[in-house]
Each structure stands twice: as C-alpha cells, then as structure tokens.
Structure 1
Amino acid sequence: MFVRTLSAGGSIEEIGGKAHRLSLLTRYFNVPEGFVVTTKAYELWKETGSLSKDLIDEIKEYFHSPYVLEGKFPVVVRSSATVEDSPGASFAGVFESVTGVSSFDELIRAIERIFKSAESRRVKEYMKRLGIKDEVKMAVIVQRQVNPKLSGVLFTRSPNEPDRALVELVEGSPEELVGGRESGKRILLPRDSTKVKDPLMRELIETGLEVEELFRKPQDIEWAYDGTLWLLQSREVTVFASKPEKTKVPGGWYRLRGIPASPGRVKGKAHFVLDDQPPEEAERVFPRGGVLVTYVLHAEYYSLFMKALAIVTKVESVLSHPAIIARELGIPCVTGVDVEAIREGDEIIVDGDEGAVYIKNPRKRFRKLDLWEASWKEDELTKELGEEYQKALQELDAEKLVKNDTSGL
C-alpha cells in the first residue's frame, strides 16, 4: 500500500515531518481532511521515473472515498519530506506546494512535481548551508482546500518578543502572506487568552497554546478561518532573536524604519531584484556579498539567500517563509522598509536587531507616488489609509514639488 489517510498517521520515515505532525493534530483540532502518498511511493517513483498504474489507482480510490475527499475538488497538494519541519530546519517554502488543483490529471502532475522538488538545486543549497546531510525522502499530502474569510500565521512566541504571541493575517488564502509577497495585519497577543477580547483571536491563542503544549515547543502555525478555525500546518519556531545592544551609527546616515525579521548588522552595497526577473537571471547577475533589496520575495529566489549579505524587503512580514529561512541561515533581514528611498549600488547598513536600514543618499520621498500610481499592490495598501489622506495624496502635483523642494531630501 502506497497511500493512507492523513488521520491514520505514521512515522516521519513513512509520511514525512509535515504529515506526521498534522496527523497528530487531527486527533484534537480541525484539520482539513485528506490523504498521504507515502515515501514508499516516492522511492518507487525514483526507480521507475513515473507513477505506476497501481499507485495511480490507489490514489484515485482514496480521492473518491466517501470517508476522505468524496472525489471533490479543489484540493491542495503539499510536500512532506522526512527532513521537513524538523527542530533545526523548517524548509519553509523550500519544497513545492500546489494549490487550486481542480482535476485528477492535475493532481497526478502535482504529485510528480513535488517528488521532483526533493532533488532541486534550491533544496540542495539550503541543506548544504545548514549542514544537513540526511537523505531526503518525500511524501505528498492531498487535502481539501479551504476557502477562508481570514487566514494567516501564528507564532505562539514572537521571534522578537518571546513573552508574547504574534499573529499575521490577511483576507482570503494565506499563500501570498506566507510566501512573503503580501503584507498582513500584525497583532501582538498576550499568552493569556483571558486578556484577549476578540473572539477569533482568543480562540486562536487558546488553540495555539494547546498545540504548543502538545509538541512541547513554541509553534509556527498556519491557519485559516471560514467560520471554523482550521489548522493547516504546525512546526517548531526554529530561531529567536537575542536582545540587541543599541546600534551606534556614524553621522550623516538617514534611518529607514522597518521590522526586525532576522538579527545581525552588516554593511554592504544595495542591489535590487524585482519579481519580473527569472530566478536564474537574478542569481546570475546578483553579486555575492551584496545586500538583496526587493519589494516582494518569492520562494523561487531562495538561491539568492546563499549569496546575499542581508535582505531588505518592502513587504511587511516577519512570519513569512523568506523571513523564517533568513533567520535559519543567519542572514540579517528587515521587512516593511520604504525601499523606494534606497539607490541601486549605494552602500547601506542593515540592522536586523533594531529593524532599521541606514542610507546616506536617499531618493526624494515624493517620488514613491510614481510607484503608488503604477503598482496595484501599493494601491491596495493605500486604500487602508484614511479617505482624507488619500485625497491629499492624489491632489499632490509632483512637478511643483520638484520645483519648490529645497530640503535636499
């Protein structure tokens, strides 16, 4: 047998780290139903190069089972490697996941895609950087896809303030948030649920603390809410920031405020990578030892982490997969930074302890209005501003500002 229900469980060697932990959660919490294609199937696939007819028939049987998915789409297909979600290495976003699968042929292709990702260059570089020499065996999770009103990530202990819990949430599905492509609403919560007024946040912190007690360690939990609180994943928080000393910065530097996502302080030259660059090209042109500056950071660009001295992003998330990986690799990272003020090639100081970036020659601040007009993500963010402020922004005349500006900034 190559397939089993998620709730049936199994060892990490049989069903991988993610499925093993989810199977334990099914005993006590709401977890979307599904099944696991085991590492035994992966080993057979490696030998033959394809999914056998017997395996495909077994997958079809579980998919159509009235006890499991009842033949209903959409489903989400996710990795569950034997090295994944371990105490020292999360592999957050390093392996493939496929959402919105809506046909059986797509499902089979998605399973093969995840099997192939076990041998990807991204995985090998990540393991080499962390000194992981274990053999990778891959299992695959197939689950009903939740259509949530809200979703996000809960750290039962915040990486920067471990005496409190930290939630980041967005409307709809969490993929953009956890992938580091969208800023979420950030909420610090007391670890005492009786002090939390909002019903959903209270349920979330209560659930999170129960999961923490189950696994005996602070947890990084992906969740979704559609009227029911669903747990999509839980793994240990792998790195906490130490309390920093106050940074001493020489005169003549301008401070850009951000959010500390990974500790450390470095100085280096800023190099932008934009999300319309193919990953292979970005890796080829990005200089080793440069500071990676970006608006958003996709999982496909993880190979750049191995070359980057530090990371600075516009998207405001300390719980996303890129931020988690930065902490594990020991790369200073600051998120939520006004990167429009940074000039390509300029020397900058990145302070991942305090959540600040220091620059000497900032671009003129009003010019970010050009990006606001051109970027739908920026436009979406400005909608959160008050109506009066939005109106004032729209009425600004950039050309007049250029003529009247004498501040040097």
Structure 2
Amino acid sequence: MSIQWLEDIRSTDLPTVGGKAASLGELTDAGLPVPPGFVVTAATYRRFLEGAEIDAELFATLDVDPDDARGLATAASQARELVIETPLPEALVEEIITAYRELAGDDEPVAVRSSATAEDLPEASFAGQHETFLNVTEDDLVDRLKECWASMFTERAVHYRNEQGFDHSEVDIAVVVQRMVDADKSGVLFTRHPSTGDREMIVEAAWGLGEAVVSGTVSPDHYVIDPETATIVESTIADKKQRMVKDPETGETTLQPVPDEDRTTRVITDEELEALVELGRRAESHYGEPQDIEWAIVEGDVFMLQSRPITTITENDAEDVADSPEDRDGQPGDDVLVRGVSASPGTGTGAVRIVRKLDHLDQVTDGDVIVSKMTMPDMVPAMKRAGAIVTDEGGMTSHASIVSREMGVPAVVGTRNATEVLENGRTVTVDGEMGTVREGSPTEDEAAIQPDPLEAVRPQTPVKPMTATEVKVNLSIPEAAERAAATGADGVGLLRIEHMVISLGKTPEQYIADHGEDAYISELVDGIRTVAEEFYPRPVRARTLDAPTDEFRELDGGSDEPHEHNPMLGYRGIRRSLDKPEPFRCELRAFDRLFEMGYDNVELMLPLVNDSEDIDRAKTLMEEVGIDPAKARWGVMVETPASALLIEELAATGIDFVSFGTNDLTQYTLAVDRNNEHVVDRFDELHPGVLKLIESTIETCRELGVDTSICGQAASKPAMVDFLVEQGISSISANIDAVQDVQHEVKRIEQKLLLDSVR
C-alpha cells in the first residue's frame, strides 16, 4: 500500500509512516484538532529505491569517513542528485495525485512534510533534518515529494545519523501531505521547560505561518505559563518585523513586513492561551511524557501541526521538578539586572569582566562574560573565549551582534548601562534569546542539563529556494564556518582575513619579525582552509588585508601605526598592501599554497582599489609568488566612486569579478562618515547617486563578462536586494543571520520579473 490516511494511522505504525506521521495519526485518533492528510509510506520510498535499482549505489556513495568534510559533502550531493534525477513509476504518480485531489479538492494548497522512520523519537528528535514545503499545489507535488526523499541525504542529515548511530540503509522516509493551514498566527508550545524540565509551559507565537518561528527567521513573543491556572507568569512581547505568509500573486510562501500596528502587539489572546494550554495538557496526558508542539490559529480555531517528545530533558527532570516557577532554588522572580536587544541566542553563565580598554582583554578567561560599551575587531580573540557578551550600545547589526552570531556566543546588546550596573567578578546569566542579564547562575540540576551553547544555536539547514541569483554569506571568523555553511548559502562572498590577523595580537610586521614569514603564512592558510573545507566545492572569496590603522594600533607592534583623523579614508586596503609589499607577499603566498593544496574553490579579492594601476601592481606581485592570474579566480572590491567610474579600465586587467562594498561606497559618494553621529542620518545606501554607480557598473560588467556581487551591509535590505536582482547582479552576499531572508526575497523578485516578462 503506497498511501495511508492520517485517520487510519496510530503510533504503532511508526515503521511504516515515520515518526511525524505516526504522531499526527495518534493525535487525530485522540480527537485533537489535526488538519486532515495522507502519507506516502516509507515502504513506497524503499520500493522506489529497489525498483529503480539505485539502492546499492546510493548507500555505497555514503560510505565515507564522517570526519572528512569534503568527502561527506561530495557524497551527500551525489546521493541527493541520484534520488531527484530518478523518475517515479507512472502508477505511483497517479495514485499520489488521486489522493491529493481527494484531500485538496480544487487545487487547494497542501503542506508536504518529511517523516523519517528515525524521527520524533524519544532518544533523537531529528528535528529540522529533513525538508518541509508549504503551499504546494498539484503541479509541484511529485517534485516536492522527491525533494523530501532526497533530504535524507543532506550533509547535516547524514552527519546527524552518524552521530546518533543510525545505519543509513536502515532508515526509511515517509512523506506527509496535509491540508494547508493558512495561519493568522502560529508558534510552538513546550509542555515543560525544554532545558530545565520545570513544570511550566513555554509558548512562542508570531504572526503568519509557524515555519518562521521554528526556523528562527522571526523573533516571536515568549510566554511562560502556569499550566495549573493557564495564567501568564512571564511574557516578552517581541518587535515582530516579519511574518511568513502565502504570496497571493505567486502562491509561494514568502516573508513580508508585519504592519506597524501589529509589530509590538501581543499575538495571542488569553482565550487562545487557555486553548493552547488545554491542548498541551491533553497531548502530554495522551503520550505520558512532555511534548514539543507546533500549532496554528486560523480565525480563532486552533490546530495542532505536530507533537513530539522533548528530547532535551530526562525522565527525572520531568518528574522531579518544582511545583511552580517561584519554587526554583536560586531563581528569584525579579532577578533581571539589565535588559537589551537579543543579539545572539543561547544562554551563558560566567563572571563579569568589564572591558573599558583593550589592555583589559587579557583579563578575560574562558567562560567569562565580556561587558563593554561596544566591541571592536581587536576584541575578537577575547570574544572567542567568552561565555557571553553584553554591550551598552549597538543593535542587531553591530559588530558585537554579527561576530557573536557567527561564533555562536550568546549576546545582549544595547543595554545602555551594563558597564555601570554590572560589577567585575559578579556571576551573571546572559540569555541571548530573551535579551536579559540575570543575577547568579542556574541551579546544579539546571546546569547539568544545560545544552552546549554552540550546539543550541547552530542553525539547521533551511529549505533553500532555487534562484538564478546566487546568495552567499559574509564571514569573519573561521570558527563560524560550520554555522555559515548550514545556512545553505551558495558560497562565501566575503571572508575577511583581517580578523584572523588581529586575533594573533600582533601587527603583521611584528608577527613576521617574531615568528617568521612561514609562520604567518601558515596562520592565514589554516584560517582560510577551515572555511574552504566546510564549503567545498562552493566558492570562498577571501579578501586580502583591509584593516584601518586604529585597529592595528592596540596590537603588539602597533606603536608605529600612523595617527589618522579618519582611518577609513587613510592607510588601508590595497594602498597599505602595495606600500608594505612584504606582508602582502605573505598573504599572496598563503593563497598560492591553498591553490597547490587543491582548494580550487578559493578566490582572491583585493580591497579599496581606485584604478588599473592599483590592480596591475598587485597582479605583478601575484605572479612573483607563483599565482597565475589566468588560472586562479580573482577580483576586486568596488568601494570608491573612482573604481565604479573606471570599471572598463579595471575589467581590462583580467579580473573575474567585482564586489560592491556599500558601506564605503556610500560614505565616499555622499561624503558621510557613518561613524559620525552628526551626519549618520544622511547615510543612505539607497541614495540615487549610490544606486546609479552600482547600476552602471553591473551593466558594464555584464557586457564585459565580469561577475558582479555585493558584500556590504546593504545586501540584507529587501529594497537593495530588489534593485540588485532587477539590475542582473550575479550574486548577493549577506551576513549569516540574513541569508535565509535574502534567499526568499531573491526568489520573490525573480518570480515577479519572470511573470512581468510574460504578461
């Protein structure tokens, strides 16, 4: 039997329909409000593999060393391609379409969800390992089904099975097809605290479809509920800037802005909370253990979309918990010392280390909580050691936020007064999700089950939209390469090597004097190689050194750095490299060594060029160290009006690509120092003058066969993304936390352009 309906499925059918479907069938039988649907069984998947005679080849492909990142990536890619490219039998296609029409009627959309036979288990949830597709119609149903099957072989899913000890050939996958719930509001409900096991319910809610909450795309409202009285113990109402909804024009799921009047409005009412609490009680009672529930509300009606065991708490945790939040030892109700912006998720506990000067950084030991007015690149080595980071200033796009998210370190920024309120040596707990800093540390029981912060915030590979415009990721810290790769980005559009250099604690000249050129080259090779391996064969575009003098001045050897009124306009980028060719040659030798080692996905990018003379001089040095510019992929940053206006001259040097640095291009075009509070309101990357330079550069490069990209902060702005896609840019590179949003925005505008072209 290829098809089974949810109403006929029970939990004992797990080997046939997978964990997710078995749970949904069990909930349906229990009378809980589950949208109707059917399941393409796991046996159907197995018959497909064996009938097409691809099973032996498929599982042989996966016989690679799990620690070989490059080999694993290649094997996973080959396995997915094998599944997707193999056609389904016509009889099976007809059976699936017949069931769809019975469920959906007149081509109504459905949700297509993977349900592996080793999924939603008490000992291993497999959450987020396999694909989910929303708003699927008949034309795309079979393709989405095969993509769910193929998601068994993503790098992350293969690695997860290795870690959990599951044999790849023993795990099958079913696919759930459910009537689509076009949610007004949705979210998740934990019937117990997922970390501590406390007897309290946690509800997170946002506008629109719940995938945005589950994937972390939006910041939801957060409610702590007393399950006995269904009353709110604690709540945080988030600024909900986006919602995931069905696009009325394309029918695709898309992120759209939340209306201003709803952004800071509480999502769910008291009545709806009571209904959710009741559903949580019934689900936990039915299964006899704490549950992690996905829910949706449509015109006041509550639906359960999924329920699975909470795998992060033990049986003892669930049984031996306090009767109420007030009874938790060492956790007084009003212990928040400061609040700020939730910058990087996770929880970190440690001793406060106030950093007012860079020479205070050596006082930061492993696990300490760095508290400073703001952070700078010079602080990165200490930030790597920190258990959490708190700043007085900054927002979600500040240096502290970006680097913390890259490294997976919990962070709260924009507290205004943390450096004044918190005391050196005081033990605090930083909650990067809630934006709070609390007195003290968790209890021993809570600490024992506290998840590894790096593991807790490591992103799950999202559903990646297929786009003609490549969407890449910016990266500063090699240690964040795994998190960056998990975004599904098409490569790295900007790898900043200055953070690798600054983390050495010495200027390049001083480090070479103390340790020798080969040691310096090896440091650069190791940093770039870490990223290149994680992304292989996806390209990694590494930029040569571009640190202003003020960032070098605090390092050992920095006393010789010139004092500049505005270092951003001064001795940096290619001008410094050409003026001090010996450190620059070491950088180039690092690239040459990587090429010799087989990292053909590494690309070299030169910063702050003005004209062809800059490029020609750098090109000569490349050739001197053994790099053949005709064989390596290399290019330049377009950050000055001069480079944009002289783009034909630059292209004639033989470059393969250019990349817009919009932060610099904007401030140089508008004569606005973006760090000057008196004129920062005039800093506008969407100014017509800036856009005109970008537009003409893209047009010329397209004519000359030179790829174009953008890696500045503006790449994360929807309006800039729309403009760039319309102009035909080759790729867009965004910060780690913005990649998924940019992917969906690119897909939306590409579809709009396609529709416009045929009208």
How far the C-alpha of 1:64 sits from its partner, in A, is 2.1
Contact 2:37 / 2:178 at 8 angstroms: preserved in 1? yes
The answer for the alignment partner of 1:263 in structure 2 is 451
Q: Report the alpha carbon displacement of residue 285 of structure 1 after superposing the two structures with TM.
A: 9.2
Q: Following the alignment from structure 2 to structure 1, what is the Cα–Cα distance between the partners of residues 304 and 676?
A: 42
Q: Report the residue type matching 1:163 in the other structure.
A: R
Counterpart of 1:263 in structure 2: which amino acid? P
**Aligned equivalent of 1:3:** 3
Shift of 1:249: 4.1
Aligned to 2:132: 97
Counterpart AA for 2:118: V
> Who is 1:53 aligned against?
90
- Matched residue, 2:350: 247
Kindly provide the amino acid, as one letter, of the partner of residue 157 in structure 2: V
Query: Do residues 210 (structure 1) and 285 (structure 2) align?
Result: no
> What is the DSSP-based 3-state SS (H/G/I as helix, E as strand, rest coil) of the residue aligned with 1:113?
helix
Structure 2 residue corresponding to 1:86, chosen from 121, 125, 142? 121
CA–CA separation in structure 2 for the residues paired with 1:265 and 1:110? 33
Could you say which structure has the larger radius of gyration? Answer: 2
Give the residue type in structure 2 aligned to 1:100: N
2:152 pairs with 1:147: no
Report the Cα distance in structure 2 between the residues aligned to 1:148 and 1:372, rounded to whole angstroms. Answer: 35
Question: Which of 306, 310, 313 does residue 237 from structure 1 map onto?
Answer: 310
Q: Aligned ranges for residues 284-323 of structure 1 at < 5 Å?
A: 287=478, 289-290=479-480, 300=488
Q: 1:228 Cα shift?
A: 1.0
Distance 1:155 1:365 in 2: 46
* CA drift at 1:53: 1.5
**Residues 122 and 309 of structure 2 are in contact (CA less than 8 Å); yes or no, is this contact kept in structure 1?**
yes
**Quick one: structure 1 residues 281 and 148, their matched pair in 2 at CA, closer, same or farther if it must change by over 3 Å?**
closer
1:154-205, CA deviations, whole angstroms, 9 ceiling, x for partnerless residues?
0111224523111111111111111111111111111114546811001101
**Cα distance change, pair 291–137 in 1 and its aligned pair in 2 (3 A):** closer
Under a length normalisation based on structure 2, what TM-score does the superposition of the two structures give? 0.36
Out of 115, 119, 137, the residue aligned to residue 153 of structure 2 is: 119
SS of aligned partner of 1:182: coil
Question: Which of 155, 163, 174 does residue 129 from structure 1 map onto?
Answer: 163
CA RMSD of aligned residues (A): 4.0
Code of the residue aligned with 1:171 in structure 2: it is: W
Mapped to 2, the partners of 1:33 and 1:127 lie a distance apart of 30
Alignment of 1:9-408 (within 5 A): 9=9, 11-27=13-29, 28-47=31-50, 48=52, 49-65=86-102, 68-102=103-137, 104-133=138-167, 135-160=170-195, 162-195=198-231, 198-226=270-298, 227-240=300-313, 247-252=350-355, 253-254=370-371, 255-256=389-390, 257=412, 259=431, 263-264=451-452, 287=478, 289-290=479-480, 300=488
Kept in 2: contact 1:96–1:114 (CA 8 A): yes
Query: Residues 368 and 25 of structure 1: is their aligned pair in 2 closer, same or farther, counting only changes over 3 Å?
Result: farther
Give the secondary structure class of the aligned counterpart of 1:232: strand
When residues 205 and 176 of structure 1 are mapped into structure 2, their CA distance, relative to the original with a 3 A threshold, is same
* Shift in Å, 1:113: 0.8
Q: 1:265 to 1:90 in 2, by over 3 A?
A: closer
Q: Using the alignment, how far apart are the partners of 1:149 and 1:89 within structure 2?
A: 31
Residues 222 and 300 of structure 1, relative CA distance in 2, 3 Å threshold: farther
| Aligned mates of 2:301, 2:475 — CA distance in 1 | 45
CA gap of 1:291–1:239, structure 2 versus 1, over 3 A, is farther
Write out per-residue CA displacement over residues 198-237 of structure 1, whole angstroms, 9 at most, x where no aligned residue. 1100110111111011111111100000021000001111
Greater RCO between the two (CA within 8 Å, min separation 6)? 1
TM-score between the two structures when normalised by the length of structure 1:
0.64
Whole-angstrom distance in 2 between the partners of 1:111 and 1:80? 11
Q: Which residue of 1 aligns with 2:83?
A: none
AA of the residue aligned to 2:185: L
User: Structure 1 pair 72/290, CA: closer, same or farther in 2 (3 Å)?
Assistant: closer
User: Which one-letter code corresponds to 1:101 in the other structure?
Assistant: V
| SS of alignment partner, residue 109 of structure 1 | helix
Q: Partners in 2 of 1:222 and 1:299 — Cα distance?
A: 22
Give 2:4's aligned amino acid.
Answer: R
Q: 1:139 to 1:189 in 2, by over 3 A?
A: same
Post-superposition CA distance 1:231-265 (Å, at most 9, x none)? 00011111149999962244533142353676347
Residues 230 and 273 in structure 2, CA contact (< 8 A), matched pair in contact too: no
- Distance across 1 between alignment mates of 2:40 and 2:118: 16
Aligned equivalents of 1:31, 1:137: Cα separation in 2: 24
Structure with the bigger percentage of helix: 2
Residues in 2 aligned to 1:368 and 1:9: alpha-carbon distance in whole angstroms: 60
Q: Give distance in 2, aligned partners of 1:233 and 1:156.
A: 13
How far apart are the structure 1 equivalents of 2:204 and 2:351? 31
3-state SS of the aligned residue for 2:104? coil
Deviations 1:73-113 (A, max 9, x none): 211100000011111221211101111112x2300111111
Q: Which whole-Å CA distance do the structure 2 matches of 1:94 and 1:251 have between them?
A: 40
CA separation of 1:285/1:291 partners in 2, compared to 1, >3 Å: closer, same or farther? Answer: closer
Deviations 1:278-299 (A, max 9, x none): 9997699973x458788xx976
C-alpha displacement at 1:125, in angstroms?
Answer: 0.8
1:157–1:298 CA distance, 2 compared to 1 (3 A): farther
The aligned amino acid for 1:170 is A
| Secondary structure in 1 matching 2:39 | strand
SS of aligned partner of 2:350: coil
User: Hey, what's the Cα distance between the residues in 2 that align with 1:29 and 1:84?
Assistant: 21
State the number of aligned residues: 306
Write the deviation string for residues 264-285 of structure 1: whole angstroms up to 9, x where unpaired: 478xxxxxxxx99x99976999
8 Å CA contact retained: 1:168, 1:186: yes
Percent identity of paired positions between Structure 1 and Structure 2: 31
- Secondary structure (helix, strand or coil) at the match of 2:153 reads coil
Could you say what secondary structure the match of 1:46 adopts? helix
Structure 2: distance between partners of 1:283 and 1:376: 14
Q: Is the 8 A contact 1:94 1:299 kept in 2?
A: no
- Contact 2:293–2:306, Cα closer than 8 Å, also in 1: yes
Using the TM superposition, give the Cα deviation of residue 9 of structure 1 relative to its aligned residue in structure 2, in angstroms. Answer: 0.5
Q: Which whole-Å deviations, capped at 9, do the CAs of 1:105-131 have from their partners, x for residues lacking one?
A: 300111111111112222111122333
